[in-house]
Structure 1
Amino acid sequence: MFVCLCTGTTSHAVSEVVANGARTSKEIAEACGAGGDCGRCRRTLRSIIEAHFADCAPNRVSR
């Protein structure tokens, strides 16, 4: 799915950038261009970042 129509960047490309260390929409824009033009996709970029780190969080056991 396209995330940034200005640059034609897909969610897969953004996920790869986040997996490689991007933690902000600005870092994503620097790496692949998404979010660097009009900015309408920045909310989606932040959602991808949050989802990535939620998936990477260690599972906690309730006691």
Structure 2
Amino acid sequence: MFVCLCHGITSHVVSECVANGARTSKQIAEACGAGGDCGRCRRTLRAIIASQCEADEKAHTAARH
């Protein structure tokens, strides 16, 4: 799914940025350009970050138990 129409960035690309350490929409903009222009996609970027970080935290917690 396209997340950033200004730059043609997909959710897959954003997820890769998050997997590589991006934790803010500004960091994602620096990494791939999404969210760097009009800003309409920033809410979606933050939702992807939150979702992926939550899933990572659950996996990390499950691995400890």
Query: Number of residue pairs matched?
Result: 59
What is the root-mean-square deviation in Å for CA atoms of aligned residues?
0.6
CA displacement 1:10-54 (0-9 Å, x = unmatched): 000000000000000000000000000000000000000000111
Which residue of the partner structure matches residue 54 of structure 1?
54
**Structure 2 partner of 1:6:** 6
Inter-partner Cα distance in structure 1 for 2:56 and 2:38: 30
TM-score by length of 1: 0.91
Give the percent of matched residue pairs that are identical in Structure 1 and Structure 2. Answer: 73
Paired with 2:56 and 2:29, the residues of 1 have a C-alpha distance of: 22
Which segments of 5 or more consecutive residues in structure 1 lack a partner in the other structure?
A: none
TM-score, length-normalised on structure 2? 0.89
- Which structure's residues are more often helix, by fraction? 2
User: Which consecutive aligned stretches of 4+ in structure 1 deviate over 2 angstroms post-superposition?
Assistant: none
Instruction: Kindly provide the amino acid, as one letter, of the partner of residue 47 in structure 1.
Output: A
Partner of 1:44: 44
